[in-house]
Amino acid sequence: MNRIQQLSYEKDFYLAFVSAKGDEFQRLFEKLMQKAHQNDFMACCPWGNLGDRKNDGYLSSTRTLFQCYAPNELEAKKTIKKIHEDFQGALKYWREDFDEWAFVHNAPSGRLAPTIIKTLLELRQQNPGLKISHYGYEEMLTRFRQLSLQDLESWFGPSLTMEANVNLSYSDLKLVLDHINTMAEPKASEVKDVSPGKIEANLLSPIVAAFLKIGMPKSLLVREFFEAWRDPTYGERIASAFKTQYLTLRESTPPLLPDLIFGQLEAWAGGTANTSPQHKAAVLAVMAYLFEECEIFEDAQATLGAPKQGYQYDLAI
């Protein structure tokens, strides 16, 4: 698996992580652990009035009991209450079966409130015979990186590849553009030059930014396609459709994270009929072109001074 494939799959996993809440997050965690620890990890299903007895998964080899918590907002007071309830329940039903208790959470920045950290430290002090740990995005990403290419393809489908990106052609672009052209009515819009710092200004995470940058060298091919096309309004219609969809997502209630807007735009542009590497390369090239033309996401000058957020990520390709 090359670097572009790895980055493509890690982008998919990151978007799945930040979007999953509640039971959906637990299903994501279970799927990851079942693929990373086949015949070792056991997911626990709530059973009638017994529930799951404070067990969201068990890793036999390390005798680790997992408990997931992924609300829409990770509030400190509610989280601390949840930790105490789940830990005491685990002691009641499973004490003889585990040596480690792991709190699995969906904190969007990977960081926990000081009062939550203090609660976990107190549990360690009060239970010297047990290991108390926590699993966030970075811990889950470590296991995700252990998966084989076959596992990744069965989960997220074929990835973007270096070969598909290098060999991107007009015919690949046209399939994507024809799909987009059917999605919205044309509207007049201004095309502006991309300003420095636009990625940072839009608070795109490093993983999504690195993925977007893969497509930027191919944005010239998209421009040449529009310039050579027999209908001079074709490019305007594509840009209008994209911009309309972007504005719809941006105004969603509750608000979507910029990374999730990117992911939903990517899915909208690509459709579901074709998931080949060539098709994904074409979608990314079009998105990179429109990003540079300031048709999607905000111009850096309009958001100057906005705080940065997101996980640190190696951008080298």
Give yes or no for a contact between 213 and 315, defined as CB atoms under 8 angstroms apart. yes
Tell me, yes or no, if the pTM score tops 0.85: no
d(CA 226, CA 233): 9
153-192 pLDDT, tens digit per residue, is 999 999 999 999 888 888 888 878 887 766 544 444 443 4
**Residue 49 confidence (pLDDT):** 63
* pLDDT at 314 > cutoff 50: no
d(CA 305, CA 30): 39
For 168-172, 182-186, 210-214, 309-313, which range has the lowest pLDDT when averaged over its residues?
A: 309-313
For the chain, the first-to-last Cα distance in angstroms comes to: 13
Q: Which residue has the higher pLDDT, 292 or 68?
A: 68
230-251 pLDDT, tens digit per residue, is 888 888 888 888 889 999 999 9
For 32-36, 47-51, 313-317, which range has the lowest pLDDT when averaged over its residues?
A: 313-317
Q: Per-residue confidence at 301, pLDDT binned at 50, 70, 90? A: low
- The residue-averaged pLDDT of 251-265 equals 91
Q: Per-residue confidence at 8, pLDDT binned at 50, 70, 90? A: very high
Which residues share a beta bridge with 60?
none
Give yes or no for a contact between 41 and 76, defined as CB atoms under 8 angstroms apart. no
Q: Please list the alpha-helical segments (H only) found in the chain.
A: 3-19, 22-36, 76-94, 114-126, 137-144, 149-156, 162-166, 170-181, 198-201, 206-215, 219-228, 234-250, 258-270, 277-292
The contacts of residue 279 (CB under 8 Å, 6+ apart) are: 172, 175, 176, 270
**Residue 305 confidence (pLDDT):** 45
* pLDDT at 63 > cutoff 60: yes
Q: Per-residue confidence at 20, pLDDT binned at 50, 70, 90? A: very high
d(CA 213, CA 199): 10
**Residue 299 confidence (pLDDT):** 65
**Residue 235 confidence (pLDDT):** 86
Give yes or no for a contact between 103 and 67, defined as CB atoms under 8 angstroms apart. yes
